[in-house]
Amino acid sequence: MSPPLYVLLDGDRVGEKIDGHYLRNDVHDLYLFARELDDAVAKLAASIREIGGTIYLAGGDNVLGTVEDLNAFLAVFDTSCPRLPVPFSVGIGEDPRQAHLA
C-alpha cells in the first residue's frame, strides 16, 4: 500500500470577489457569498472524510487533507465542482509543500 497523498484545495479569485463586495458596500451579498464559501469548504472536507481521508485544515477558501485513493478523491471532487460558488484549484503531492507548489 502506498502512502497517502496530500491534497490542497484552494478557492480561485476569492479575494477579488470579497474586494468587489467591499468596494460596492454590498455587505448583504458579501454575507451570502461567505456563507456559500463556508458551506462549500465544509462539504469538500466532508467528501474527503467520506472516502476515508484525513482533514488537517478546512477554513477560509482552503482544504488540506490526505487521501489513500486518489481516483476516488478525483471522482468526488469532479462531482462537487458544479455546485461550488467559485472554482477550486487542486494541488496534489507527497507532502503539504508539494501539494501547495503543485
Q: What is the tens place of the pLDDT at every residue in 89-101?
A: 999 999 999 999 9
Give tens-digit pLDDT for 3-44. Answer: 999 999 999 999 999 999 999 999 999 999 999 999 999 999
| Residue 92 domain boundaries | 5-101
Can you tell me the distance from the alpha carbon of 12 to that of 23, in angstroms, rounded to the nearest whole number?
Answer: 19
d(CA 66, CA 30): 31
Count of domains observed in the chain: 1
Strand arrangement of the beta sheet that strand 54-59 belongs to: 54-59, 62-67, 5-11, 88-93
CATH code of the domain containing 85: 3.30.70.270
Local structure of 63: helix, strand or coil: strand
